[in-house]
Amino acid sequence: MRSMASSASSRGIAAIVGVGPKLGRSIARKFAHEGYTVAILARDLERLSRFADEIAREEKAQVFAIRIDCSDSRSIREAFEGVLSLGFVEVLVYNAHQSVSHPIISTDISIDSFQKSLAVSSMGPFLCAQQVLGGMVDRGRGTILFTGCSASLNGIIGYSELCCGKFALRALSQCLAREFQPRGVHVAHVVIDGIVGAPRRTSTSQSQQRLLVEEHQGGGGGGGDGSMDPDSLAQSYWYLHNQDRSAWTQEIDLRPSIPTLN
């Protein structure tokens, strides 16, 4: 765990689980920009630490990088010991997923692959939510946001393990919403119905200049190709967190204005 800034936030902790170079990083950046101390969690600690350093420097925020394996209950408990040592977790975003890069015949999917996908998409978010719900209920406030996808709503040929895990995640979100929203905890499921591209920030920092070069060379940013801008998606997560409790959204679908090109 690394601290990347010297001054602590006066707000609660925003814990972002499943931080990669696109959506997770953009969500973390948004909450850091809004004044939160941010804990970012993923398996690759070396890359995670680079993200933490970048976000802390650009947003002048306090950011902590903590390793987690969302398929391992012990790793989740140990990671959240670190998160909770920072203070009260006001926001939990569960963005982790098990990559599935190949549509294959369901009878050829291995038991290990199926079990790991279910663990990351259902057991992982359940255990992460358990770590923070007690504190949220005690304070009568908190937000838990789960990232789903089109596989949360429809079965897809060749992606049985992904769909089963994401269906379970959606059910978990609905169950927790009904149980804990009356106690002040906003729980919502975010359906990302499209391909997330690279961010389209206009800053001229070195990392962003490199990103613009990659996009010019065909790396793909959110926009004209039908992909979704992760910074724009992160705004929706912030919007959900700030909704008045008299009109909480329990599920939201986000998709690009034009179809993604195949």
Return the pLDDT at 107. 76
Q: Are 247 and 36 in contact (CB under 8 A)?
A: no
State the pTM of this model. Answer: 0.87
**Measured distance between the N- and C-terminal CA atoms of the chain, rounded to whole angstroms:** 39
Distance between CA 35 and CA 12 in Å, rounded?
A: 9
With cut-offs at 50, 70 and 90, classify the pLDDT of residue 105: confident
- The mean predicted confidence, pLDDT, of the chain is 87
Whats the size of the chain, residue-wise?
A: 262
Task: Write down the pLDDT at residue 223.
Answer: 53
- Give whole-number Cα distances, 173 to 53, 54, 82, 100, 152, in Å: 32, 31, 24, 22, 11
CATH topology assigned to domain 2-98+110-254: Rossmann fold (3.40.50)
